Chain A
Amino acid sequence: MNTQATPPVQHLRITFGVDGPAKYVPHLDITRAWVRALRRLGLAVAYSHGYHPHPRVALAAPLPVGYAAERELLEVFLDEPVAPDELAARLRGALPGGLGVREVEAVPLQSPPLASQVVAAEYAVVIPHPPTDLQARLERMLAAESLPFTRMRKDREVRFDLRPRILQAEAEERDGEAVLTLRLTHGPEGAARPEDVLSALGMEWGEARATRRRLILA
């Protein structure tokens, strides 16, 4: 095992999309798929020190299983530097089904963990058979001062006010489908999920299809 104590030399941020098979892969497995892809390219991925060294590769925010995504974020520490543009080019065609690289940029080594910087996320939810009064429901929801909400988490009920967690919600209808654009808070102060909003609108998830458009950093 490598016990050298030299710190990593480069900190990269990778923006990527999720589609097809990758939509159904849990986030820990997505992280591992990235580690393997980077190792296949011969990159010197940095490892943590200690008893169980693990690769220093982390997602900004776990994507719920079944969601597509346009601009997810991943951070990577390397022991040997690479040119970000060159890495982006090499990653094309080097990823398993449904992962697609958008861009790679270098960020300061000391910048705080991505996971701590995410404050909100933007979603698009396609609803195949929307209720006729969707706009009215949306307006009622947004007009409310508070939206007391209960979510089951493992065997525990979690109660919170959903309203302040909805930063933006709009609906647009085309070809009999509705597209709900949502901007929801994310992070330790409280996150909301598109499922919560649908349920606050009195709707079942049913055959809805969700895409996370982007993560918003502080």
Chain B
Amino acid sequence: MPAVTWERLERILPTVEKPGRYVGGEWNSVVKDWGDVETRVALCYPDLYEIGMSNMGLAILYDLVNRRPDMLAERAYAPWPDMAAAMRRARIPLYSLETRHPLAEFDVVGFTLQYELNYTNVLEMLDLAGIPLHSGERDERWPLVIAGGSSNYNPEPLADFFDLFVIGEGEEVLFELLELVHRLRGSGRADLLRAAARIPGIYVPSLYRVAYNLDGTVAEIQPAEPGVPERVLKRIVACLPPAVTRPVVPYLELVHDRAVVEIQRGCTEGCRFCQAGMIYRPVRERRPEEVMDAVDELLRNTGYDEVGLLSLASSDYSQIEPLLEALVARYAPQHVAISLPSLRVDAFSVSLAQKVQATRKAGLTFAPEAGSERLRAVINKNVTEEDLLQTAEAAYSLGWDRIKLYFMLGLPTETDEDVEAIARLARRVLAIGRQHRRARAQLSISTSTFVPKPHTPFQWMPLADLDVVDRRQRLLRERLRGRGLSFSWTAPQATLLEAALGRGDRRVAAVVEAAWRKGAVFDAWAEQFRPELWRQAFAEAGLDPHFYASRPRDLDEVLPWAHISVGVSIEFLAAEYERALRGEPTPDCRDGCHRCGVLQAFAAERKAVAKGVWECP
């Protein structure tokens, strides 16, 4: 199939909402001649352009692949239903934004999976591209369809559709795979998959057999042939890759519309609910001088007037204070704002925010996650009430009018008392605000529903009863009425689905496919989400979403992702689970190693870098 011509595309663009999503042409997008390269990769995000363009992982891979003279990477996103319908009517296949080649023309079509509620969009994109959905239906004439990303750590619910999954950080392993694809061009798909399965970090689901017990739990997951590893350990890079300093600058406004420098990967705090905190271990920092140089290049190459420093915990970056001072001194006169996500709840973090928001105090967000000391010990969010009150004191006294606090409902062991504690805390914080800001003091409380995730100490926990969560939400709304207070929550309607897909096994693939065939797409978008389609899809497959979402699991149950390892041992996760139930916190691992297993798993990678790069004692 030739590239989609601009003339054909222009016939449908005027008929759809926000056509700018589908045209490319952005500054720094890389358009290469297809004849000049040997291997071509489509990098796909299964959600709208505005969401997918903010993804750092794809930006890194786009940059790395396009630096290679023998390869190219182009982008594709999920078209909104109006565009998908227009494309089907006009028989325009899903195409890449750079050269408008149909996805089927690429050697490799790679998706990043960040969220379970995007899964139907993967099928929608493959179908729009005219690519057979099932791995088993694709021979070597079709692109190799692969996935990476954080939802990938339980690949099973999409095992039927992907030829292989890249587990972990893709910066090195992607090239090992692309070189293999190039070398084995012309040989059969089965041979390619067999060879790929030997690359550390690559999981080829078709080379594994899953057996089930009579009660529906997994009995065992075994390689189907010799040479296939029993467990796939995620890949990591010893050092952070060079910062992306020539990112695509979108025409359209994004969700996060700014230059971004990754300053740190991984997190040491060990919150038990947090998947990112477990799967991105170990912590690796980028040196401050490197950050400064990267910011400089980024601003010159993009023209942005805002830079975000990306990490899971900004306050934990060892040089955060001098780094911020240097950035502000250099860039404030050029009207460049610095944004700092994920601040720890402490006065130090307020002093950091003070550095970057000296004149424009737009509001500060903190995440105590739970209202009571008891529950925070359960989830290992090591923040005391005193910390929080001091943080509020610091923020309001320095001139912020508005603080936002973020909590989760439905956490393990939660009772009404823990929810009442959120309301009490809110009143105390607002009272501090009133002392300093009088009637201008504002406090926003925002809640979401906790969903247990694979590879965390809470992977064995049931999703909370959603009726109880709903009642607690209403309770909180009652308690949080009043001047200066506002309360917002994310509607839990898709929570059950997210929880079921997140911890689903291979049989759930049939459910995803059936739901998509009935018309489910963009399930993460409230206006598109149609729970009845999913109810039917589960029923037809003879499966119950509550079996996956709401069932407490025994510690010795074989989990559907048991053959995937992030380097954190099952013994560590189980010990953390038990400490949680006893209400015992585990300190930050900067204060002492808890032997999670990451150091042993990645001893070779650690040896490859200078001492001190990993702040993992």
Contacts and interface: CB of A to CB of B under 8 A. Distances in A.
Contacts of A45: 335
A22 B303 contact: no
Interface string A183-218: 000000000000000000000010101000000000
B26 A40 contact: no
Contacts of A38: 303
A63 to B, nearest CB: 13
Nearest to A209: B10
B507 to A, nearest CB: 43
B466 to A, nearest CB: 36
Interface in B389-417: none
A37 B26 CA distance: 12
Contacts of A2: 332-333, 335
A36 B27 contact: yes
Interface string B234-261: 0000000000000001011100000000
Interface in A21-37: 21-22, 24-26, 28-30, 32-33, 35-37
Contacts of B335: 1-2, 45, 47, 53, 55
A1 B358 contact: yes
Contacts of B249: 36, 96
A3 interface: yes
B13 A29 contact: no
Interface residues of A, number: 36
Contacts of A35: 303, 305
A20 B6 CA distance: 8
Contacts of A3: 359
B19 interface: yes
Given A39-B305, A40-B303, A22 B251 contact: yes
A116 B300 CA distance: 33
A65 interface: yes
A22 B25 contact: yes
Nearest to B357: A1
A164 interface: no
A42 B335 CA distance: 12
Contact of B302 (A1, A29, A36, A98): A36
Given A21-B26, A25-B23, A26-B20, 14 more contacts: A1-B335, A2-B333, A2-B335, A21-B25, A26-B252, A30-B251, A35-B303, A35-B305, A36-B304, A39-B304, A39-B305, A51-B360, A66-B13, A66-B19
Interface of A: 1-3, 20-22, 24-26, 28-30, 32-33, 35-40, 42, 45, 47, 51-53, 55, 65-66, 95-98, 205, 207, 209
A26 B27 CA distance: 16
A26 B25 CA distance: 14
B6 A96 contact: no
B24 interface: yes
A52 B360 CA distance: 7
B11 interface: yes
B25 A97 contact: yes
B305 A55 contact: yes
Nearest to A65: B19
Contacts of B22: 24
